[in-house]
Amino acid sequence: MKKSRQNVISISASLLVTMLIVTALLVSIGKNPIAIYGTVLTEVFTSGYGIGQTLFKATPLIICGCGLAICFHASLFNIGAEGQLNAGSFVTAIAVIKLEALPAPLAIVVSIIAGFLVSGVFGLIPAYIKIKKDVSEVITTIMFNFIIIALINFFLVDLFAVKATMHTEKIPDGYMLFRFSDFIPFFQGSALNASFVIALMTAAVTYFFIYKTTYGYKLRAAGFNEVASKYIGIRVNKVILISFFIGAGITSLAGMNYIFGYKGFYEAGFSNNIGFTAIAVTLLAKNNPIGIIFSSILFAILDYGGLSVNQEVPKEIMLVVQGIIILAILSTDKIVSAYFARAARDRFV
């Protein structure tokens, strides 16, 4: 209970600090912060389109964040989500086209599984190297980001891309997921689609997996104290391998929003650093999948809000805001928990 109070305090403190810094920044470049915040809030919240676009942008972050949360709970740092999610999404987009002979639902399911497996394997390799050779997963996952992107570009250019573009063929219309605006006119024009529901389900399942299953317990134990976990009979290495496989696999689903819900094809650079932004989202939510839904929506508000104020200030300011948030949460976290620790100690004296 006290832990959650600490979290609430440190998260609100970090958002407040971010607000202050950003306000100061806006004033210093001669803009009116109140007007800009006002524009963001009205654009995002007063139209179905704004809300829809925000949730649309939150979708891949939620999914990718859930995958990362599983890796992070094992106390290993997966910086390779950007590569992993691209690998899986690419394979899914190609597989769907190649499996056109199969009935639609089967083709979709098989291609998603194929993507999951490929992403999973790209997570598995760094984990395996970590266990066998004690090489930091940080370095290997970074290297794999570059390797995967280069490989995809190679395959795209040489084999799979539609001529003179950097994207694959479009999948048949019948394979596309429904858009919210098909049923609810309120969301008219926004790209919000069934992937959002899948994202919420992913978060729920991941939450259940981490906090309510034996395996999740082992995962958290291994991450919390490796030595003690080994002592009580948890096979820590196996836990790490499986969590990296599943975690990286889940990131592949982040591509669904774009491929099945929006454009209908894989395009080089579609992920636009989701894999890195998701790290920030996951940290902000303390690796809790339900929290990730909210932190993803916050980052999506910034993302879409950035577009809405682009006339006033360059939309890239929201990247600065996101960077400040992550550093703010890291520091307030430490300061708040140190304060609580001191308070607890003083009570005993």
Q: Rule CB under 8 A: which residues touch other proteins?
A: 29, 77, 79, 129, 132-133, 135, 138-140, 142-144, 146-147, 150-151, 153-154, 157-158, 276-277, 279-280, 283, 313-314, 316-324, 326-327, 330-331, 333-335
* Residue number, 36 or 283, with CB nearest to other proteins: 283
CB of 138 to other proteins, least distance (A): 6
* Residue number, 15 or 320, with CB nearest to other proteins: 320
Query: Which residues share a beta bridge with 193?
Result: 179
Query: Which residues share a beta bridge with 267?
Result: 167
CB of 274 to other proteins, least distance (A): 12
CB of 114 to other proteins, least distance (A): 22
Counting every residue, how long is the chain?
349
* Residue number, 102 or 147, with CB nearest to other proteins: 147
CB of 132 to other proteins, least distance (A): 8
* Residue number, 138 or 176, with CB nearest to other proteins: 138
* Residue number, 149 or 199, with CB nearest to other proteins: 149
CB of 145 to other proteins, least distance (A): 8
* Residue number, 131 or 177, with CB nearest to other proteins: 131
Q: What are phi and psi of 179, to 5 degrees?
A: -95, 150
CB of 105 to other proteins, least distance (A): 35
Q: Nearest 5°: CA angle at 314, between 309 and 319?
A: 95
| 113 contact partners, CB below 8 Å, separation of at least 6 | none
Torsion (CA) 140, 141, 145, 146 in degrees, nearest 10: -10
* Residue number, 11 or 256, with CB nearest to other proteins: 11
CB of 91 to other proteins, least distance (A): 17
